[in-house]
Amino acid sequence: LILSLAIMVSASFQGARSVVPLIVSSYVFYGMANYFSIGIMLKYKPKYMAYIQISVAILNLFFNAILIPPLGIIGAGISTVLSFFCLMVFTFAVSQRLYHIPFEYSKLLILELLICIAVFIAFQINAGIWLSIVLKIMLCFLLLSALFVFRFFETNDVQNFRKVFNF
């Protein structure tokens, strides 16, 4: 992502580089919130999603008011991370109350932590364009390997993976 900023935008937008990791992390939380909303949808209660989103929008305004004056664009990024994290937590809490789903919490935590670590490492890579691409592809394979090491995948997942990739 940072690499694409260097290639596709003018120098006047290069300052966004510092906030991109925060925005990427925010959307990981947003994706998890969507994942957790299944209970709300199964119970046909979309109004709860509206209540959650309005609450999070108000929280975002509060976080912005506190964090932007002292931290500028980084404060806005932190505010976005905090808001999407709250969206994930609120959605999870309401959804589980309406329709309990026994998620594999340890696997979700491992996945979240490994993705955050990989994103952090990826944003530290500051080599030439081609070397950065190669290193980031290697990082993706390392992330996948770490998921295997932490037994994220079930036996049938591994078997299906082998069938798809013929090994």
pLDDT score at 9: 55
> Two tokens at 78?
């932190």
CA within 13 Å, CB half, 41: 6
Q: Are the C-beta atoms of residues 18 and 74 closer than 8 Å to each other? A: yes
* Distance of alpha carbon 105 from alpha carbon 53, whole angstroms: 24
Please tell me the predicted confidence (pLDDT) of residue 21.
81
pLDDT band at 65 (very low <50, low <70, confident <90, very high): very high
**Global confidence as pTM:** 0.74
What is the percent of the chain with per-residue pLDDT over 90, rounded to a whole number? 46
pLDDT at 132 over 80: yes
Structure confidence at residue 130 as a pLDDT band (50, 70, 90) = confident
- Whether 88 has a pLDDT exceeding 80, the answer reads yes
123 vs 130 pLDDT, higher one? 130
Give the pLDDT of residue 4.
Answer: 52
Q: Which run of H or of E encompasses 158? A: helix 155-165
Place of tokens 């290697």: 138
Share of the chain above pLDDT 70, in %: 91
pLDDT reported for residue 36: 92
Mean pLDDT of 22-40: 91
- Helix, coil or strand: residue 102: coil
DSSP 44: T
